[in-house]
Each structure stands twice: as C-alpha cells, then as structure tokens.
Amino acid sequence: MAPVPAGAKRTCRLDAGRGARHHAPAAQTYRRLPLAHRFRMARTPSLSTLRQFRILAQTANFSRAAELAHVSQPALSRTIRLLEEDLGARLFDRNRRHVSLTQAGEDLLRLTQRLIADFDDAFDLLGQTLSGQRGRIALGVLPSYAVGDLPAVLSRFREAWPGVDVTVREGLAGTIYQQLRERLIDLAVMTPPDDAAEDFTFLPLFTDPCALVCRAGHAPADPGWHSFADAPFIAMAPTSSVRQITDAAFARAGLAPRPLFECSQPATLGAFIAAGLGISALPLSCRPMVGAHDLEWHLLDDSAADRVIGIAHLSARSPSPAAQNMLRVLSAKGAC
C-alpha cells in the first residue's frame, strides 16, 4: 500500500469485492505559512531596482540595459548583484556573449511587470486627479440658479473636464451652508452667509434685482414697496433668502405687511398670484421657477433689496483641483 503523506487525513473505503479496507489520502489544502516561516529579505527592492531588472530581462544585454536605464554598466551590474543577494537566488545566467533569465528570474519578471503596471496606473490616476482631469464635486445651489444659469455652466464644465463627476444638490441657503459645514458639498452658489459665519469664503458673482409680481392687468398704479401696504401679500417661507430680503426691505420702508399665504416653492407662489390671491416680491432669477403663468414683473427701486449671488466654500478647506476648475467656470460670468 502506498504511503500516506505526513499530515494528510486518512479516509477509509470498503472494497466491495473482498470486503477489505483501504486507506486513501484526503485532498491536501495549502495554507499561508505562519509569519515565522515566511521568506524574509534583507532589503526590499526599490522600484528603481525592479525597473532596472526588467530592462535587463527585456534586452538581455548589460550595455544596452544600462543605456536605457540611464546608469553606468558597473552600477547596473552592482544593482543586479545586490538584488540576487537579497533574494538568495540567481536571476540571470551569464556568459561573455549572452544573458538569460533563470527560472527565479522569470518568476520575478512576472511579479515585477504586475507591480510596475499597478504603480504606474495608480500614479497616472493620481496625476489626473491632481490636475483636475478626474475627481468628484458636490455642488450646492439655490433652486433659482439650478433652473437658470447652472445648465449652461455644467455644459461648459463637462466639455472641458469630462472625467469629473458632478453632483448637484438644491436647497435653501441655511440648508446648503449646513452641508458646507459638514463637508457634504464642496462649493455652493448661494446668497452671502451670515455676518457671524467667518468660516466661509464668499466670492460675489452677480446681483439679482427684486421685482413686484402681480397678476397680468392688475398692477398697482405706481408699483413699489408701498404697494404692499394695501394689497394682499403672498410671501416665501421664512427660512428662504427671499423672505429675509423682503422682510428687510419692508422694515426700511416702514411697512409690516402680514402674509396672507406663505409658500416654500416659487411655482406655488406664482399659481396663487395668477389666481388673483395677492401680490409678491421675488428676485428676477426666480422667474423660470414661477411657471408659465400670466404675470407681470415690475422692478422695485430699492437696490438694498437686490440679492447678491456668489460662490461659497469653507475657508479652512482648500478646494480640490476639480473644484478649482469649477470655480473658474462659475466665475466666468464675471464677479459683481
């Protein structure tokens, strides 16, 4: 009976013909060696050493390999000798006219090819990220900007940097600034932060004039802030930047109109105005959001009520290269 390899499990089977028992070795499995039994090198080869080894393996000529590696031939010979000493194996068979890989050399070449390819690919991707050609950007925007200028901005950005993924998050100013603080987004196209919010950098882009919005054919005789003293007022939600602007404008005019309705969306507000329920004050950038209602827009004469729109980001966080490219595209419209 053939001997059973040491450490192998024995299985027993019954010979149907003679009733004899035979022992057969079970299938052997190979496990990682414990750390104490693994091969250890005196020095781990550098990437430069492995590149020189690969060049020599490909050229099979020390003189030519040294030229391609931009080192002297004695330096290349020393590098290969030290690599062989570290591995404890001969990598090349040499004679005066020929250099060829040993089996150990062929094994190392396969490993080296994979390591160098992975290294080069990883740093190529890193280089693309550092140059802004690849990456991810999370952009927070006001809803009015999202349906206004943003599509054209993203089209220009996509044309220049197709390898960058852009996520757009719409929201009111308070929500977007909170997402900036939590680093959920990189940049925001917003109204200015509160005076106390010194942790943000804000670059103004343009001003957004405010207008009185009314049902077509039902405009006040002399449209202005004073018109809200006599007409029903339909307001945006208290948390919106529009509401903060209109409240401040009313205070400057000595007015305190009580909203008949409060709406969180300009489209709803526009429908209410079109139904004859009242008038409102909105920035002109909200016009696409109001919808195709039969409305009139009359500019209001208080420049202090003009909404400033700009780009905000955390002061303590440097924008990524991709985010810097987005900043340039966003600001191409011209700072105010």
CATH architecture for residues 47-130: Orthogonal Bundle (1.10)
What pLDDT shows up at residue 129?
Answer: 80
Domains in the chain: boundaries: 47-130, 135-206+308-331, 210-305
- Which pTM value belongs to this model? 0.65
What pLDDT shows up at residue 241?
Answer: 82
**How would you label 286-312 residue by residue, b for 16+ Cβ within 10 Å and e otherwise?**
bbebbeebebbbbebebeebbbbbbbb
What pLDDT shows up at residue 272?
Answer: 95
Do 135-206+308-331 and 210-305 fold alike per CATH? Answer: yes
| Distances 88 to 80, 94, 95, 236 between C-alpha atoms, Å | 12, 17, 20, 78
Domain 210-305 has CATH 3.40.190.10: yes
Q: Please check whether residue 14 is in contact with residue 28, taking contact to mean a CB–CB distance below 8 angstroms.
A: no
What pLDDT shows up at residue 152?
Answer: 93
pLDDT tens digits, the chain, 336 residues: what are they?
Answer: 444 444 444 444 444 444 444 444 444 444 554 544 455 666 789 999 999 999 999 999 999 999 999 999 999 999 999 999 999 999 999 887 789 999 999 999 999 999 999 998 898 888 878 888 888 999 999 988 998 899 999 999 999 999 999 999 998 888 898 999 999 999 999 998 876 556 889 999 999 999 999 999 998 888 999 999 889 999 999 888 889 889 999 999 899 999 999 998 889 999 999 999 999 999 999 998 887 778 999 999 888 888 899 999 998 888 999 999 999 999 886 444
**CB-based contacts of 44: which residues, under 8 Å, 6+ apart?**
none
| Tokens at 53, concatenated | 């080894």
What pLDDT shows up at residue 100?
Answer: 93
CATH architecture for residues 135-206+308-331: 3-Layer(aba) Sandwich (3.40)
Amino acid sitting at position 152:
A
∠229-242-324 over CA atoms, to 5°? 160
